[in-house]
Amino acid sequence: MPFRAKNRALSVVLAAAGTAALGLGTAAPARATAEPMNYVALGDSYSAGSGVLPLDPAASPLCFRTTRNYPRLVAARTGARLTDVTCGAARTEHFTRAQYPGVAPQFDALGSDTDLVTLTIGGNDNNTFISAILACGTLGALTAGQGSPCKDAYGSSFSDDIAEKTYPAIRTALNQIRARSPKAEVAILGYPWILPERAVPGCFLKMPVAKGDVPYLHQLQTDLNAAVEKAAGEAGATFVDMAEVSNGHDACSPRGTRWIEPLLFGTNVVPVHPNAAGEAAMADQAAAVLNLD
């Protein structure tokens, strides 16, 4: 379905055309121009583009927000009026309370005149995903990459946290966005793949995860993205799926192909996060799903 801002622009053009056809006034009507849509970008480091340089001078240095994140790219291609409050390490709780001194709750940027909201959120809630990667990396190094020590030690605990804590928090946050900005198109992006579906040659040198734990972490990310998608569906938001398009662009892929930089031997200031190509891919996918081109 065409984006609301496009409908609004079309209405302006049709109104101008109707006025000209009726001959109201002797002068030629002024060319109608669409008012830029008000775009608010919320979310965590995947939205902030943490690790990609240069940093946004308007943001707190603690947020590690780049000027090359996907919200900036979406705004540039649409001419939107962007308010970017994304911040690295943000959790759903930081939508309604300050994350750092001087960094306001992200929901303060929302208003009744907001036309578009995008976000990624959930990966930091309960420290589930970062804890899993660190735990699996530590155990993988101890076993020299053999076996599935992380899966053996933690079982379903990380996925249980996502189902029991992260999913309801995301759903609540999306409902709160709707209440604050009732006319806005709300789009929540899934996370692009960090690891491939199974271990590949050379992966352990970049991501020191045991061979049997690579599919374990891949499934954990599948569970996280499924929770995001489910929450979006229940809250009436648009889910921007990054899974299929990011296949083959994970942190184990070669430099120049990968969208996520690895833990070791990467190029980002912040590892295990999207590089500039990854942020551009997120912008492309969001624009395609929202019909912004």
Rg (CA), the chain: 21
CA atoms of 96 and 283, how far apart (whole Å): 26
> SS3 for 178?
helix
Helices (H), 60-206: 70-78, 128-142, 149-154, 157-161, 167-180, 203-206
Q: Measure the CA–CA gap between 73 and 43, rounded to whole angstroms.
A: 16
Query: What residues are labeled active site?
Result: 45, 273
3-state secondary structure of 165: helix
Q: Where are the beta strands (DSSP E) in the chain?
A: 38-41, 81-84, 116-119, 185-189, 238-240
Vertex 189: Cα angle to 184 and 62 (nearest 5): 95
CB-based contact 40:109 (threshold 8 Å): yes
Q: What is the dihedral of CA 221, 224, 226, 232, to 10 degrees?
A: -140
